[in-house]
Structure formats: C-alpha cells, structure tokens
Copies of this chain bind each other. A is one copy, B any other.
Amino acid sequence: MKYGHFDDAAREYVIETPATPLPWINYLGSEDFFSLVSNTGGGYSFYRDAKLRRLTRYRYNDVPGDEGSRSYYLSLMSDSSDSATPIETWSPTFLPTKTALDEYRCRHGLGYTVFEASKHGISSELTMFVPVGANAEINSLTITNTTDKAVTLDVTGVVEWCLWNAVDDSTNFQRNLSTGEVEVERDDERTVLYHKTEFKERRNHYAFFSLNAPTIGFDTSRDAFLGRFNGWDTPQAIAAGKLSDSIAHGWSPIAANRVRLELEPQESKTLVFTLGYIEVPDDQKWESDAHSGIINKKPAHELYARFDTAEKVQQALDQLAEHWNGLLHTYSVESGDERLDRMVNIWHQYQCMVTFNMSRSASYYESGTGRGMGFRDSNQDLLGFVHLIPERARQRILDIASTQLDDGSAWHQYQPLTKRGNADIGGGFNDDPLWLVASVYAYLAETDDASILSEATPFNNEDGSEQPLLEHLRRSVNFILNHRGPHGLPLIGRADWNDCLNLNCFSSTPGESFQTVENNDTGIAESVFIAGMFVLYGSQYADIVERYGTQAGMDAEAISEEVAAIRSAVEEMKQVTESAGWDGEWFIRAFDAYSHPVGSHENDEGQIYIEPQGMCVMAGIGVESGKAQQALSSVKEKLTGEWGTAILAPAYSTYKIELGEISTYPRGYKENGGIFCHNNPWISIANALVGNDDEAFAVYRRNCPAYVEDKSDIRRVEPYVYCQMVAGPESATPGEGKNSWLTGTAAWTFVNVSQYLLGVHPTLEGLSVEPHLPQDFNDLTVTREYRGATYHIAMKRTGERTLTVNGQRLEGHVVPSAMVSEADRSDNDNKVAVEVTF
C-alpha cells in the first residue's frame, strides 16, 4: 500500500493522506538553522546544536504524538464582528485539530515542505522552508476563497518555545517554570512575539515569531491559550474564537498570533509567519540599558524585513531551488528505471546531505540530546557527500582528525560545538582509525587536492601536537598493526563497526553501558571485520603514499619503504583472514575473549554475520580462492530474504554475557538479526566486484525505499529515504522499518549505486567507469561533474567492456584526469564525452 507518490519533475514526494503509518518528515535548512517537519506539520527547529540551542519544543514519544511545535488554526467565523464565533476550525496541516479536510496534500521537497488543503471552499497552501543564508524558518500561508460568497476567516499560528537547552527544558522544572520571559511588539503592520528567556543573564540570543499583518490577538502564555485540560487539538482560545493577549511569566511561553481575513469570492491573501533566531553582540544586548530589560530588536527587524512580503518569500524559494540545482548537478543518471533515477538523482543525495549535516543528532528517532558526531559515522557520511561540497568535506576531515589520539586511536565521538573528543563515551572502538583513511581517500579521489595531506593537524586538539594529516593516516594504519591478537587478527577493543558486539564487556548490571564498560579486557578478542578493513583501507593508504608522498614532502626512498611495508602487512592480513578467519563457507565474525569463534557453524546461534562477508570481499580477500563467491553465496542463502539481508542468523534467544548488547534485543530486531541497512550496500558492492551483477542490483533494490514504496503499510517509514533497521525474518514484524533518515546507509548506498552498480567511481588517477547492472539495463547515461569538468557518460550493453573518451579508445576503465587537459576543457565547454560498453 502507498500513501503518496513521487513527483520526479518537482523533486518531491507527495503524501496524499495525513494518516501515514508514522510521521513522515523532511529537513529544512542547510547551514546553521535547521528544522524538522512532518507531514502533519510537527517537528522543531534549532540553531546549530539540537541539544544546546533548541528553539521550539518537541516531545518525543508523546501522546498524542507529533504536535505542538508549530500549529495553525483556520477558523471560519460566523461574521466579521468583534463577537464573531467560530463555525468550524481546521488545520492546514491536518494536525493538531484533526478536522477532516476536503483536500490534503503534503509535498516534501528539497529543503521545503508544502501543505495544500481545502475545507468549506477555503483552500490553503502553506510553504515551510529555511531560506539560504538566513536564521529563520518561513511559513508562508496563502488562503483562497473558492466559494461564491465573502467569508471571514481567522488564522492563528502558534509555536511553543523551548528554553534553549533541550535536556534542561525537559527535566529541570524547579528552575524552568520560573524563568520564561517574553516581549511583544504590535502595530498596525505586524506583530512580533519575542522569546527572551535567560537573555537577562548569560545569553546573547533570542528568538521571535512574527506575522506580517495586523493581528486581532496574541498569546504568549501556553496555559492561557490552551486552558486547563486542552491539548493542541482543542485550545480554549481557539474554541472561544479569541486570544487573550496574555504575557507569560515563567511556566511555558508560546507565541500565538491571530489575524482576521475578509475574503471576497476567489480572493487570495498571503500571510508570512517567520520564526527567527537572533544573536547580538554582548555590548548591544539592550535597547537602552540592562536595567530596562528591553532587548535590542534592531537585528530582528532586519531579519523580519527580509521576508515580510509574498514576493520576497518567492525570491527566497527560488534561491533555495537554485541552491539544490547546483548541488544535484554533480551526479545524475538516466537509466530508463524511474525508481533508480529518482533515488540516485534526488533522494540518495538529499539524504547524504542530511546525514552529513545532522550526523546522528536530530531525527524523529534520535532525540538530539545524546550523541555528538561519531568518528566512524562522520567519516562514512562523508563518502556519500564529498562530491557535493568538497570544501565542507575537507573541513570535516580536519575536524575529525584533530580528535584522533596520538597513538592512532580515536575518541568515538566528538561534540560539534567544541569539536573536542567526548570523554564520557571514550575510545577503544578499534575500527575507528581506519575510517579516517576511507574518508581521506574519498576526498583525494574526488578532488586530487594533495594539500590536505600536509595540513598541520593536532592530536586530541592539543596545541603543539600538530602533524601533517598524512601522519594521522599512518598512525591509523599502524594502530591496527600494533593491536593484534592470538591469530594475528586485529583486536576488536570495545567494539568494531557493530557497536553491540561487545566482546570484553561482560556486563551483568542492568543499565550499564555496553559501550563504555570493560569488565574482562583480556586483549584476546579479535575482529575479522577489522582485518577486512585493514586490507581495504591499508591498501588505500599505500595508494595515497605512492601517489602523493612526494607532494606531502616524503622522499622517494621513504615512500617506497612505507608502501612496501604496508603492502606486505596487507598481504599478510589477507592470508590470516583467509585461513584463521574462514569458517568453511563464510568468514568468521570475530574471536571472543576466550578465543572462541563468533559467527561460525560451531555456534548454536549467530552462526553467520553479514559484516565480514561484505568487508572482506570488498577488500578483495578470497576473490582468487573462490572464498569470496562462497561467502556471498552463504549470505544469500542464510541471511537474505524479501526485505534485505539480515545482520546475522540465527538470532540470539538468550543474553550472552561474552557477546554483549547484540544479544539483548528481541530476536530479529536491531543488531540481533534485524536487517541493518548500513551493511546491505557492502554486500551489493561485494557482489558487483566479483561479477554477480544481478545479485548486486537485487540486494540494492530489496532494501531501496522507492522499490518497496508499495509496501509502505508494512515498512511504515518514509519511502523516500533509508532507515537504520528493518525488522528481520526472525522478528515478529518482518519488514517494519525503524529509525529513518540518520543512518550510514545513506552514504554507503550512494557509494554503491553511483560507483559500483552504475560504476562511475572516482579514483586517485581519475574517473573509473565500469557498470555492474542486471540484464534489463542496456542503455544509460550518467552526468558527472568531476575535478572541474563535466563528464557525459553514455553506457551501452554490448557484452564487451570498452571505454572511449572524446572519441579516443582507452584500455582499462579509468579516464585519467591528466588526459582531461585544460585545453580539452575549454574547447569542449568543460565537457568530456565518455562512451562505455559493457
């Protein structure tokens, strides 16, 4: 069952009913000011940091759910007098009133969401977006009277303020209920309601919610607006048809503006509600002096004035569209499969942008109050983002590398505001260091910008500890070599990619964190997955040294020694993995603290895990020996079902103290046998690399939102983005998705489909083109902006692999960047014509 449809021309997903199985959301904002918005208008806004600078209040797991942050009420009034009463009230977003609408449509687009509704012949279009370069969310509401009678319509818009720190806001009531402060500015042109809690003391920021029209009432006290027992569906002020001009003193400040529209038949009017965030210099906080308590509103007036007419709003919308046009120009495909095209050209890349911006902080499942930026997460997110804005990727890499410790290990998370490692979570996740190699390699393959390798980058943010970034990579690789166990495999530490496989934790205390406790660290537990990573990213490190060592200041001898040493270590690790890491029909997952295998036929449960099969084959391990094919065949047979490939099987039915959190979940959910979407692309890539093109694509489509859109009633989450986990075949609810949006699946899927299936793959030398597609794809074109040129790539199935560049036939599948000379570029308007047969 579907609840909407893709509108590819508009780059929108159009939701046709408010009653989606779960709220289906979108993200607004691309720089500092961000908002989440659901298909019924729920969500919240924050400035930079979802925990410390939350602007509007949102209650996770609430009953009723998804209400209260921004609420709009359209009240058809009995007449136009002062004593008019509401005939009926509805919301243009359906919630919170829940009044049945005659028409409803929610269009989630790139950085904006539009709600179209109609009721009683009154149609509305409510557009929400964050303009490029503005710290504001604009809610532009156009109302049209499609009846043949004049009507009086009262419009009320409301936001509920969060008292800045989202954690304190929801816990520290003995303080919070006394701190709320507001100001009101109201004239014949507009009403601006200011939220200035704690501005008196240490804050230099406030927020406002304005309306560009004269209002007939406002409220800033939530209790005054809602009444004693009412929710956002039935505020007493809305029922009464009258706001009370309340001033909040503590408790819960809100901003509610009410305006009356008199609409002639066929008349349209547009209102602009602006949610703005303002910072002022410390010496300009006040209108006159601090004792007055009157805030300096000049910057608010300036921000307000930028969007105070429908025309200015339209210009800002056009600018936002231009912004996205520019970004999505970098990679596009015409494949003949509209589902593939829409995901590659729009939604995969859009989700990559969101994961890059949000990391794992703020979604409808991540509360925005817990995690910082993950070392592992952010490096991987970057793989799917680097082509969009390489400059931001460059900065992110340097931020991440600056939190690395000088032994090559890493803090597992760092805080985006301070950019410092998070000591509460600590380190010891032994896969972390190698992901830095992955992201730097991807950056170099995209840009050829060797200068990043020479950037002086500190360890643990300590002044004086700076070393070139290349040295960070060297330490990353050597950290693995220096931490190996009894089989010669890398030690797993607290966990590797799978945070829930905790082989040294041995926790028996409820609530104890599996990720930060080590009760039994014997230095024995090993990870076959990290072994695969080492082979893959160790090789990439050697490639980097080989190609850029000179530019990074190494002499030829040093380069050659380093490369030889690493390649030899890689070869050794490959052999160890194929021997000690091989179970017979698949790769073992790990060895536990007793050196017993995990993910082996010897185990009763958890006999096979997905991660080492994907990573080892991606690293090329077992390709020659046939073990790669054998492992992938086992994955298909034992882990793969209708909804994708599960993380392990059989799921654990009891808690295994020697394995940790993985065995805590009910069977078939999360790491205990769920389909953890993140590693499905690894299996797809692995299949592509060994030539299983049909299965490679089948893995992609089983798990790809657009391809399972018609099962949205089962999958439940948004059909335009990935979720972290789909309940596995051993669960009670197979196919049920959870934790949509903020998942490494976004980056890895785009890497997979763009670089391995469509096969347009940046390398250090240039763009590689080598498609791996099933039989029904025969004729495709890909456009790729790369290193300053635009590659027009025509792909045709002929059964033979050939590569022709600007008419010249080349060996292999790489278009050397060197070949795309300055001359070529200017001659051809920066265009490179590539023809590929396969």
Chain B residues near A170 (CB, 8 Å)?
A: 60-61, 170, 367
Q: Does B229 lie within 8 Å of A95, measured CB to CB?
A: yes
Q: Does B291 lie within 8 Å of A222, measured CB to CB?
A: no
Contact A231:B63 (CB < 8 A) given known A201-B655, A249-B732, A509-B202: yes
Interface centre among A60, A174, A733 (most CB of B within 10 A): A174
Q: Is A230 an interface residue (CB 8 A)?
A: yes
Chain B residues near A231 (CB, 8 Å)?
A: 63-64, 231, 233
0/1 string, A164-180, CB within 8 A of B gives 1: 11001011111111110
Q: Does A666 lie within 8 Å of B181, measured CB to CB?
A: yes
**18 further interface pairs, Cβ-Cβ under 8 Å (given A63-B67, A164-B511):** A18-B229, A21-B228, A61-B176, A63-B222, A95-B229, A173-B367, A174-B365, A174-B366, A177-B365, A179-B666, A181-B666, A200-B666, A202-B510, A202-B664, A247-B732, A250-B669, A250-B738, A290-B655
Q: Is A495 an interface residue (CB 8 A)?
A: no
Measured between alpha carbons, how far is A293 from B62 in the docked complex, in Å?
30
Chain B residues near A508 (CB, 8 Å)?
A: 202
Q: How far is the CB of A504 from chain B (nearest CB, A)?
A: 16
Interface centre among A203, A510, A670 (most CB of B within 10 A): A510
**A10-50 interface with B by 8 A CB criterion:** 18-19, 21
Chain B residues near A725 (CB, 8 Å)?
A: 178
Q: Does A511 lie within 8 Å of B168, measured CB to CB?
A: yes
Q: How far is the CB of A161 from chain B (nearest CB, A)?
A: 12
Interface centre among A65, A172, A226, A511 (most CB of B within 10 A): A511
Chain B residues near A669 (CB, 8 Å)?
A: 178-179, 249-250
Chain B residues near A270 (CB, 8 Å)?
A: none
Give A667's nearest chain B residue, CB to CB.
B293
Q: Does A172 lie within 8 Å of B370, measured CB to CB?
A: yes
Measured between alpha carbons, how far is A674 from B360 in the docked complex, in Å?
42
Contact A249:B731 (CB < 8 A) given known A232-B63, A511-B164: yes
Q: Does B64 lie within 8 Å of A62, measured CB to CB?
A: no
Contact of A664 among B59, B200, B654, B739 (CB under 8 A): B200
Where chain A touches its partner, the secondary structure class is loop
Chain B residues near A739 (CB, 8 Å)?
A: 173-174, 177
Measured between alpha carbons, how far is A478 from B92 in the docked complex, in Å?
69
Q: Is A512 an interface residue (CB 8 A)?
A: yes
Q: How far is the CB of A631 from chain B (nearest CB, A)?
A: 28
**A466-507 interface with B by 8 A CB criterion:** 507
Q: Is A427 an interface residue (CB 8 A)?
A: no
Measured between alpha carbons, how far is A402 from B723 in the docked complex, in Å?
50
Measured between alpha carbons, how far is A665 from B179 in the docked complex, in Å?
6
0/1 string, A200-227, CB within 8 A of B gives 1: 1111000000000000000000100010
Q: Is A755 an interface residue (CB 8 A)?
A: no
Give A52's nearest chain B residue, CB to CB.
B511
Chain B residues near A461 (CB, 8 Å)?
A: none
Q: Does A666 lie within 8 Å of B250, measured CB to CB?
A: yes
Contact of A202 among B62, B366, B512, B670 (CB under 8 A): B512
Contact of A291 among B201, B370, B653 (CB under 8 A): B653
Give A18's nearest chain B residue, CB to CB.
B229
Q: Is A684 an interface residue (CB 8 A)?
A: no
**A325-364 interface with B by 8 A CB criterion:** 360
4 nearest A-B pairs in the assembled complex, by CB-CB distance: A64-B231, A201-B655, A201-B664, A178-B669
Measured between alpha carbons, how far is A401 from B194 in the docked complex, in Å?
48
Q: Is A147 an interface residue (CB 8 A)?
A: no
Q: How far is the CB of A517 from chain B (nearest CB, A)?
A: 11
Q: Does A367 lie within 8 Å of B512, measured CB to CB?
A: no
Provide 13 A-B residue pairs closer than 8 Å at the C-beta atoms, listed in order of the A residue: A52-B511, A63-B160, A98-B229, A165-B511, A172-B370, A181-B666, A200-B655, A201-B510, A202-B510, A202-B655, A249-B666, A249-B731, A249-B732
**A637-657 interface with B by 8 A CB criterion:** 653-655
Measured between alpha carbons, how far is A52 from B512 in the docked complex, in Å?
11
Q: How far is the CB of A648 from chain B (nearest CB, A)?
A: 15
Measured between alpha carbons, how far is A456 from B791 in the docked complex, in Å?
82
Q: Is A374 an interface residue (CB 8 A)?
A: no
Chain B residues near A663 (CB, 8 Å)?
A: 201
Interface residues of A (CB under 8 A from B): 18-19, 21, 52, 59-65, 67-68, 95, 98, 160, 164-165, 168, 170-179, 181, 198, 200-203, 222, 226, 228-233, 247, 249-250, 252, 290-291, 293, 360, 365-367, 369-370, 507-512, 653-655, 663-666, 669-670, 674, 724-725, 731-733, 738-739
Chain B residues near A674 (CB, 8 Å)?
A: 178
Q: Does B252 lie within 8 Å of A61, measured CB to CB?
A: yes
Q: Does A365 lie within 8 Å of B732, measured CB to CB?
A: no
Chain B residues near A60 (CB, 8 Å)?
A: 170-171, 173
Measured between alpha carbons, how far is A575 from B333 in the docked complex, in Å?
88
Chain B residues near A178 (CB, 8 Å)?
A: 665-666, 669-670, 674, 725, 738
Chain B residues near A360 (CB, 8 Å)?
A: 174
Q: Does B226 lie within 8 Å of A63, measured CB to CB?
A: yes
Q: How far is the CB of A501 from chain B (nearest CB, A)?
A: 15
Measured between alpha carbons, how far is A478 from B508 in the docked complex, in Å?
43
Chain B residues near A370 (CB, 8 Å)?
A: 171-172
Q: Does A724 lie within 8 Å of B174, measured CB to CB?
A: yes
Chain B residues near A654 (CB, 8 Å)?
A: 200, 290-291
Chain B residues near A290 (CB, 8 Å)?
A: 653-655
Chain B residues near A68 (CB, 8 Å)?
A: 63
Measured between alpha carbons, how far is A370 from B169 in the docked complex, in Å?
13
Chain B residues near A65 (CB, 8 Å)?
A: 229
Q: Does B202 lie within 8 Å of A653, measured CB to CB?
A: no
Chain B residues near A666 (CB, 8 Å)?
A: 178-179, 181, 200, 249-250
Q: Does A203 lie within 8 Å of B249, measured CB to CB?
A: no
Q: How far is the CB of A196 from chain B (nearest CB, A)?
A: 10
Contact of A19 among B52, B228, B247, B510 (CB under 8 A): B228
Chain B residues near A21 (CB, 8 Å)?
A: 228
Measured between alpha carbons, how far is A383 from B724 in the docked complex, in Å?
54
Measured between alpha carbons, how far is A226 from B65 in the docked complex, in Å?
11
Interface centre among A168, A228, A738 (most CB of B within 10 A): A228
Measured between alpha carbons, how far is A229 from B100 in the docked complex, in Å?
12
Q: How far is the CB of A763 from chain B (nearest CB, A)?
A: 35
Measured between alpha carbons, how far is A59 from B57 in the docked complex, in Å?
14
Q: Does A510 lie within 8 Å of B174, measured CB to CB?
A: no
Measured between alpha carbons, how far is A669 from B724 in the docked complex, in Å?
46
Give A177's nearest chain B residue, CB to CB.
B738
Chain B residues near A732 (CB, 8 Å)?
A: 247, 249
